[in-house]
Amino acid sequence: MNFRPGLEGVVAVQTKLSDIDGDNGKLIFRGYHADQLAKQYNFEEAVHLLLYGRLPEPLELRQLKDKLAKERQLSERLKNLMNDLPEEMEMMAVLRTCISAMESQPAWPPTVEEAIRIIAIIPSILTYRYRQVNNLDPIPPKQDLDHVANYLYMMKGELPKASHVRALNAYFVLTAEHGMNAATFTSRVITSTESDLFSAITGAIGAMKGPLHGGAPSEVMKMLHDIGTIDNAEPWLRKALENRQKLMGFGHRVYKTNDPRSVALRDITGDLSTEDDWFAIARHVENTAITLLEEYKPGRKLYTNVEFYAAAVFRAVDLPEMLYTPTFTASRAAGWCAHVLEQAENNRIFRPLSEYTGPVKLK
């Protein structure tokens, strides 16, 4: 038996959902390149692909959109629950609490209908709570808007710009699924006990809440704010590298070349550059940082990851920082639900071994 810290390199699951080729910078969702999906399809179509195994026909897409729209409305019970929670309670903790409170009775096996309910309700929970703690009246969902557009609408109370919807939709598609990460593994472990879907997603949210998993865009935003201008990019980055500081948004545990999600976001959000100087700064910082990283850390193959352009997208669509990780969660819930359904199809409870390193019995 070989001990692998963090189970790194251990294959624990066979899946048809996604494949990550870190050496060649490719991410595949059920046979489709994720970057192409983000450029050509909306989030609902990606959800259908993950949950049902194929892209929808027009009628199927309409039916899925209708189901998601129907499930957006918050129950009075969930509203009252959020009203009673402490105002200082962190947003991910609020979301975790609300999802756990949705369970009506333990159900096995999990169903697609339950998955749709969870995917639909998360933006409603987030926007209700955001407006609540900021002393703003809640905005009811607009049933004729697509999933991402409705999220922005419920947050701001006004119809979002098409370019903003396109940018955030691309982010939602690209981050909907990403292999056996910590939160996804958590959801499958819980499911393997024949627990219900709501418990599995509650556990996944708990894993995502950790700063090593879901918090990176906030650190990128802080770095870009500190840099501030194009002229300050190279001096700031050089100083950081000389002080052995990590450049947030660069490098990835899996990808040894360009993160395909970052490349896709950069391409898709190109039209936002004319609306927001932030993107011009972000692109200049990216180019400068990659050049300097090769100079200071030759051969390390450190490129922009998805968190870098996620921060740029979040800033452009004026997403409050308290919603950064929760928004990541809103997209990734689709992948979690798909993994739960897949785990239930051919279930075996997870039971890895442990290696004892404590003292031997004393005589």
Statement to judge: residues 134 and 252 lie in one domain = no
Is there a domain that residue 115 lies in? yes
Which range of residues forms the domain containing residue 220? 216-316
| Rounded (5°) CA angle 103-106-112 | 75
| Rounded (5°) CA angle 329-330-332 | 60
Is there a domain that residue 282 lies in? yes
Statement to judge: residues 192 and 262 lie in one domain = no
The pLDDT value recorded for residue 212 is 81
Active site residues: 252, 307
Query: How far apart are the C-alpha atoms of 306 and 129, rounded to whole Å?
Result: 26
The DSSP annotation for 119-153 comes to: HHHHHHHHHHHHHHHTT-------TTS-HHHHHHH
What are the residue ranges in the chain where pLDDT is below 70?
Answer: 1, 104-106, 271-275, 363
Statement to judge: residues 161 and 247 lie in one domain = no
Statement to judge: residues 40 and 63 lie in one domain = yes
Statement to judge: residues 233 and 112 lie in one domain = no
Statement to judge: residues 205 and 125 lie in one domain = yes
What CATH number is given to the structural domain containing 142?
A: 1.10.580.10
The pLDDT value recorded for residue 273 is 66
Statement to judge: residues 223 and 309 lie in one domain = yes
Statement to judge: residues 204 and 270 lie in one domain = no
Statement to judge: residues 247 and 293 lie in one domain = yes
Query: How far apart are the C-alpha atoms of 232 and 237, rounded to whole Å?
Result: 8
The pLDDT value recorded for residue 360 is 86
The pLDDT value recorded for residue 69 is 97
The pLDDT value recorded for residue 104 is 67
Cβ proximity of 126 and 326 under 8 Å: yes
What CATH number is given to the structural domain containing 238?
A: 1.10.230.10
pTM for the model: 0.93
The pLDDT value recorded for residue 362 is 72
Statement to judge: residues 243 and 198 lie in one domain = no
- Domain tally for the chain? 2
